[in-house]
Amino acid sequence: MNALNTLAGIVGPRNCITEEADLGPYAVDWRGSWRGRPEAVVKPASVEEVAGVVRAAGAAGLAIVPAGGRTGLAGAAVPTANGPPSIVLSLERLNRIRDLDARDFSLVAEAGCVVQTVQQAAAEAGRLFPIQWGAQGTAQIGGMLSTNAGGIRTLRWGNARELVLGLEVVLPDGRVLDDLRRVRKDNSGYALRHLFIGGEGTLGIITAAALRLVPALRRVESAFVAVPSPDAALSLFARVMASGAEVIGFELCARFCMEMAARHGTGLRMPLPLNAPWYVMVEIAAAHESVPLRDMLEEALAAAMESEEASDAVIAESEAQRAMIWKIREDYPDCARREGPAVGTDTAVPVSAVPTFVNTAEAELRARWPEGRMAAIGHAGDGNIHLSLHAPEGWTDRPAWLAHAAEMEPLVNAIAVSLGGSFSAEHGIGQSKRHAMATHKNPVALDLMRGLKQMLDPNGIMNPGKVLP
Ligand SMILES: Cc1cc2nc3c(=O)[nH]c(=O)nc-3n(C[C@H](O)[C@H](O)[C@H](O)COP(=O)(O)OP(=O)(O)OC[C@H]3O[C@@H](n4cnc5c(N)ncnc54)[C@H](O)[C@@H]3O)c2cc1C
C-alpha cells in the first residue's frame, strides 16, 4: 500500500510495522475483549513525525488509533472490528522527560513516558507525582491523560486532569496546539487542554504535558482493617479524615475480592485472616517527619473498634508490610481476571451514597443472578466502586457468562446514576460504554460533544467508533 510506504518514509521502515505477528499485540485490548486489526503500527519519535503521520494518514483516508501502554480497560486503544482501515499510532518512542523544575513543582514529560518513570524522576528531585494505580509500570502519560485516570490517590490529589498545567497536542489536521506552559494562572479564554484530557484520542494526539508535582511524603502509615459493612467503612472514613492527617488512600474491598487475591496472587500475604465481610485499606501521610501520624491512625482505629465500626486492624510495622497492603490492591485486577469470567462496571457515586449503592446493587444482583458471585472493590474515599459479577466456580465459557449476565452492567449503572453518580468513573468510555452514553449522558452535553468532534475532526479520522454513541 502506497500510504504505508509514505508513513514508513516519515518514521523509518523499522518503526512502521506491518508484519502480521508484530501487529498482534496491538490488535487486542488488555482484557482480551476487544479486537481489531490495524493496517500498520506506526511509531513516531518526535512531534514533527506525529504531525507528518497524521497528515499522511488523513490524506490516505486511514483512521488513527493512538496507543500508549495499552492498559486501558474500555477497548479504546484498538481499532474497532468493523471500522474503517486504521493505523495504530504508538507513542512509545516519544518518551523523554523534557524538563523538571523542582522549585516550580512541575515536570514536562512526553506522552510516551511510562507513568512510573515520571514518578521516579519526581522522587529523585524530592517531589511526588501523586497519581498511582496498578498499571503505572506500563501505562503512559498520554494514555493516563486521555483516559483522565484516577487510582488510589484521587481522594487527595484528584484525577489526572487536576495534575495538568499545559499540553502539547497534534490536531487531526496536523497542526500543533502548543499550550505547554507551566504557568499556574491563565484565564485567557477557554481551557482547551481539558478537551483532550479524557478525550480518549478522539480529538487529537497528546504529545507532551506539563505536570504538577507536590512535596514528597516524609511519613506514611497504612492499615488493613476488617469492617462489618460498607456503612461502617464510611464511618471509619469520616474518622480518619477528621484525624488531622492527610488521607491519601481509602479502599473498600469485599471479602470475595481478598479471597481472589489470596488465591491467584503471586507472593501476596493477607495481613489478617479473611473472616470479616469487608476490608478497608487506609493510608495517611505527611510531608514533614514530625507529624505524629502513627498516633493519629491508632487513635482513629481504636475509636472505630470501640464503636464497632471495625472488628480487627493491622497497622503496617515496616515498609515491606505497607508495600504488601498496596500490592494486594494493585495486583487485584490481575487476580480477578484469573478467577474466570466476570462482567464488570466502573461506577462512582457521592461518597455518602457508597453504602446505599453497594447494598442496593448487592440485593438486586443476588435476586437476579443467585448463581453469580459479586465482587465489590474500589476507591471508596472518592466514591468510585467497581462492582463485578463473577461466574460460578468452574464456569469457563466466557462468552456464555457475558451473555448470561449482560444486563448486570446496565442495572448497576442505573443504580449509580439514580444516586447522582456516574456510569464511567475512571476508565473512560472507549467501545465498552458507548451504549451507556446513549442511555445516561445528558442530550445537550452529547450535542456539544458531537459539535466539538465535527469542528476538530470533520473527517472523523481520530479513533472512530469510540466515546460518542
Ligand atoms: C491492572 C490494571 C489496573 C488499573 N487500575 C486503574 C485505576 O485504578 N484507575 C484508573 O483510572 N485506571 C486504571 N486502569 C486502566 C488504565 O491503566 C488507565 O486507563 C491508563 O490511564 C491507560 O493508559 P495507557 O497508556 O495504557 O493507555 P492506552 O490503553 O494505550 O490508551 C487509552 C486511551 O487513550 C488514548 N491514548 C493513548 N495515548 C494517547 C495520546 N498520546 N494522545 C491521545 N490519546 C491517547 C487511546 O487511544 C485510548 O483511547 C488499570 C488498568 C490495569 C490493567
What gap in Å lies between CA 242 and CA 73, rounded to an integer?
Answer: 34
What gap in Å lies between CA 208 and CA 122, rounded to an integer?
Answer: 16
- Contact 73 CB / ligand 1 (< 6 Å): yes
- Contact 76 CB / ligand 1 (< 6 Å): yes
- Contact 154 CB / ligand 1 (< 6 Å): no
The domain that holds 408 is classified in CATH as 3.30.70.2190
The answer to whether 142 touches 89, Cβ cutoff 8 Å, is no
The predicted structure's pLDDT at residue 156: 97
The predicted structure's pLDDT at residue 1: 63
In b/e form, how buried is each residue of 448-464, taking b as 16+ CB within 10 angstroms? ebeeebeebbeeebbbb
452: amino acid identity, one letter: L
The predicted structure's pLDDT at residue 210: 98
- Contact 70 CB / ligand 1 (< 6 Å): yes
pLDDT tens readout for residues 385-418:
999 999 999 999 999 999 999 999 999 999 999 9
What gap in Å lies between CA 194 and CA 188, rounded to an integer?
Answer: 14
Of 177, 196, 215, the one marking the end of a domain is 215
Count of structural domains within the chain: 3
> Is 354 a domain residue?
yes
Same domain, 86 and 168: no
Same domain, 288 and 377: yes
> Is 458 a domain residue?
no
Q: In terms of pTM, does the model score above 0.75? A: yes
Angle, helix 319-339 to helix 255-264, in steps of 10 degrees: 90
Same domain, 209 and 223: no
In b/e form, how buried is each residue of 50-62, taking b as 16+ CB within 10 angstroms? bbbbbbbbbebeb
Determine phi and psi for 423, rounding to 5 degrees.
Answer: -90, 0
What gap in Å lies between CA 53 and CA 7, rounded to an integer?
Answer: 6
Same domain, 255 and 357: yes
> Is 263 a domain residue?
yes
- Owning domain of residue 406: 219-418
Q: Please report, for residues 207, 214, 235, 239, 341, the alpha-carbon distance to residue 190 in angstroms, rounded to integers and kept in the order given.
A: 20, 26, 40, 40, 44
Ligand 1 centroid to residue 148 C-alpha, Å? 8
Spans of the chain below 70 pLDDT: 1
Q: Which of 71, 154, 202 to mutate to test the pocket of ligand 1 (most atoms within 8 A of CB)?
A: 71
Ligand 1 centroid to residue 433 C-alpha, Å? 15
Same domain, 406 and 330: yes
> Is 343 a domain residue?
yes
Cell 456539544 identifies what position?
Answer: 448
> Is 69 a domain residue?
yes
Ligand 1 centroid to residue 139 C-alpha, Å? 6
Of ligand 1's listed atoms, the one at least distance from the Cα of 334 is 1
- Partner residues linked to 106 by β-bridges: 101, 212
- Contact 134 CB / ligand 1 (< 6 Å): yes
Ligand 1 centroid to residue 116 C-alpha, Å? 13
> Is 433 a domain residue?
no
- Contact 29 CB / ligand 1 (< 6 Å): no
pLDDT tens readout for residues 419-434:
999 999 999 999 999 9
The predicted structure's pLDDT at residue 344: 95
